Structure 1
Amino acid sequence: MAKKVAVINDLSSFGRCSLVASISVLSAMGVQACPLPTAILSAQTGYPDYFCEDYTTRMKHFRCHWLEMGQHFDGIYTGFMTGEAQFNEVFSFLDTFHSSSTFLLVDPVMGDDGEAYSIFTPQLLRQMKQLSARAQILTPNLTEFCLLTDLDYQTIAGSATLQQQLELLIPIGIQFCQNNLQHLIITGIRSMDAYGHSFMGNLHISGNQSHFYNFPQKGCSYSGTGDLFASAIAAGVSQGISVEKLIPQIGKFLVASLEDSLLHQVPRNDGVNYEAFLSMLSPKHFI
């Protein structure tokens, strides 16, 4: 029987992100995606304008019906929240379905490139900290990790070398993992080598251990890459694949998708051309 992951995220018709990304990645990796929409959008929020219908008041109907059906999930993955009220619905969902046999992956969507998104408020941050405290896997980008830990983003990102960034991040990350958290993956850490080549890396911390994975940076920041990454992590963990095996192959998948998007001059808001490379996430690549 296929593993099942409940994906609590928005559905954006354009932008190749959120539930669109999650459903295709989980399916390609042999996992059943069970979507619970937080909002329905005509296009992701990076576009100049869009239609958005908040789904907060409808989320309880999914939870109650799934409970009546006797459903069980191998994993729960949370992404974009429309605002503070929605967290109560998510906490109720976790009270119903999160157990010792069901992992929780939280992608704490709050900002990027040192800037918080327009939905961000101090109350949202407080609730995101509460949600993150219940997670077994956390996938913040550097901006979001700084928000969660009250770090100054410019102090980290402005460090002269990658080594200096890691020396600041690793002790705080290890401390962050001392309670419930099993895997902290900080994404989007930028660096440059001696020849001027740009790289984008992910710092994985588990217990007292840390490992940094570096990949060539391809073009600008595209919509949906974080969703693709977190979805692949959720799918792989539900299949029993180690995070250490997952991160390098997911990185190769994202680099290939970015290269193709640059080749075809895809606008950043449209997301990356990942569809042709989903075979790179086949379970056979993680044996």
Structure 2
Amino acid sequence: MKNILIIHDISGFGKCSTSVALPILSSMELATTVLPTSLLSTHTAPIFEDFTFLDLKDEMPKITNHWRKLGLSFDAIYIGYLGSIEQIQFLRAELPKLLKADGKIYLDPVMADDGDFYYGFDLEYAKAMRQLCEIADVIMPNQTEASFLYNLPYQEGLWNTEQLATFKAAVAENSQASIVLTGAGFDGDGKTGAYYFNRRSGEEGIVQSEFVGAKYHGTGDIFGSILVGSLENGASLLQATTKAVDILPKIIKHSLTDPNMERNGLQFEDFLGDLSVYARELKGKK
């Protein structure tokens, strides 16, 4: 069984980050190891005030040093929320030491949305994150993050052929990463989704599904985890993107039956069985 290293924060309450990635990847028949980047009492959405935050940048090298003494290495690394430029610089140097020879790095450059940086992030952080993108095999920015990473005009919704070509060229300047651009399928007429580009094959396109009303905290983590789980089980980039795009509106619709959904989080747990079945189908198991 493949072992996937999850590098993300741990939010004690509020379904996001590690508390989403770990069960999804486990349900998809992948072993998981966790390198936490920070510890929070809750996630950082406006619904939660006065949350606690502990930066684990000083602990991370101690953890990885111990792993290397044990001879541990990983089939893939899935990176999400990082709290500082120092963490980016550390991982830029450390990840090649932890990854198996044929392993993959999947990077969700969490830092911004809706045209603005999240609290605590800025253009210097984006510049540092771009250096981490250089060693990734697949990057999964949303449209705001793509704009900040590669100095592109910010635009939500469908990008035209020229805009996508400019984005691909910017990524290709210093990286061989394939791309999944989340939100790029939003057409303002009831559809949303993602753009994908397979660097190796040249295949690209936009995958769309139903847009369900609004943006909800944790959707990006669910999307990224399903994408990584699918790819590590043998799906193509098109198949993995399609699976993630298709299942998210179903999870959101199901979750909206909870009147306290914004506080309690998306009920992705009810879909873990479906993801397990999908993983077994990809592996050719019954």
TM-score scaled by length of structure 2: 0.90
Are the counterparts in 2 of residues 170 and 210 from structure 1 also a CA contact under 8 Å? no
- Secondary structure in 2 matching 1:244: helix
- Return the alpha-carbon distance in structure 1 between the equivalents of residues 63 and 8 of structure 2: 13
Cα 1:17–1:228 shift into 2, 3 Å: same
* Gap runs ≥5 in structure 2: none
Are the counterparts in 2 of residues 177 and 206 from structure 1 also a CA contact under 8 Å? no
1:62-141 paired onto structure 2 within 5 Å:
62-98=63-99, 100-141=101-142
1:192-271 paired onto structure 2 within 5 Å:
192-193=188-189, 198-207=190-199, 208-271=202-265
- CA deviation after TM superposition for structure 1 residue 99, in Å: 5.1
- Return the alpha-carbon distance in structure 2 between the equivalents of residues 280 and 131 of structure 1: 33
- CA deviation after TM superposition for structure 1 residue 178, in Å: 6.3
Q: For the aligned residues, what is the CA RMSD?
A: 1.8
- 1:32 corresponds to: 31
Give CA-to-partner distance per residue, 1:18-71, whole Å, 9 cap, x none.
Answer: 000010010010001111000011100112220111110000111011111111
Are the counterparts in 2 of residues 221 and 268 from structure 1 also a CA contact under 8 Å? no
Higher relative contact order (CA closer than 8 Å, sequence separation 6+):
1
Match of 1:188 among 183, 191, 212: 183
Establish whether residue 174 from structure 1 lines up as the match of residue 168 from structure 2: yes
Q: Which moved more, 1:215-224 or 1:105-114?
A: 215-224
- CA deviation after TM superposition for structure 1 residue 203, in Å: 0.2
- 1:284 corresponds to: 280
Establish whether residue 57 from structure 1 lines up as the match of residue 49 from structure 2: no
- Return the alpha-carbon distance in structure 1 between the equivalents of residues 24 and 161 of structure 2: 33
- Secondary structure in 2 matching 1:279: helix
- CA deviation after TM superposition for structure 1 residue 266, in Å: 3.8
Give CA-to-partner distance per residue, 1:99-157, whole Å, 9 cap, x none.
Answer: 5411111100111111111111222111101001111100001111111111121xx23
Where does structure 1 differ by over 6 angstroms across 4 or more consecutive aligned residues? Answer: none
Percent of aligned positions that are identical: 27
- Secondary structure in 1 matching 2:4: strand
- Secondary structure in 2 matching 1:248: helix
Q: Which moved more, 1:263-272 or 1:253-262?
A: 263-272
Q: Which moved more, 1:181-190 or 1:129-138?
A: 181-190
- Secondary structure in 2 matching 1:21: helix
Task: Give the AA of the match of 2:42.
Answer: A
* Gap runs ≥5 in structure 1: none
Give CA-to-partner distance per residue, 1:230-251, whole Å, 9 cap, x none.
Answer: 1122222222221211222222
- CA deviation after TM superposition for structure 1 residue 173, in Å: 3.3
- Return the alpha-carbon distance in structure 2 between the equivalents of residues 67 and 89 of structure 1: 15
- 1:274 corresponds to: 268
TM-score scaled by length of structure 1: 0.89
Q: Which moved more, 1:23-32 or 1:243-252?
A: 243-252
- CA deviation after TM superposition for structure 1 residue 9, in Å: 0.5
- Return the alpha-carbon distance in structure 2 between the equivalents of residues 265 and 183 of structure 1: 39
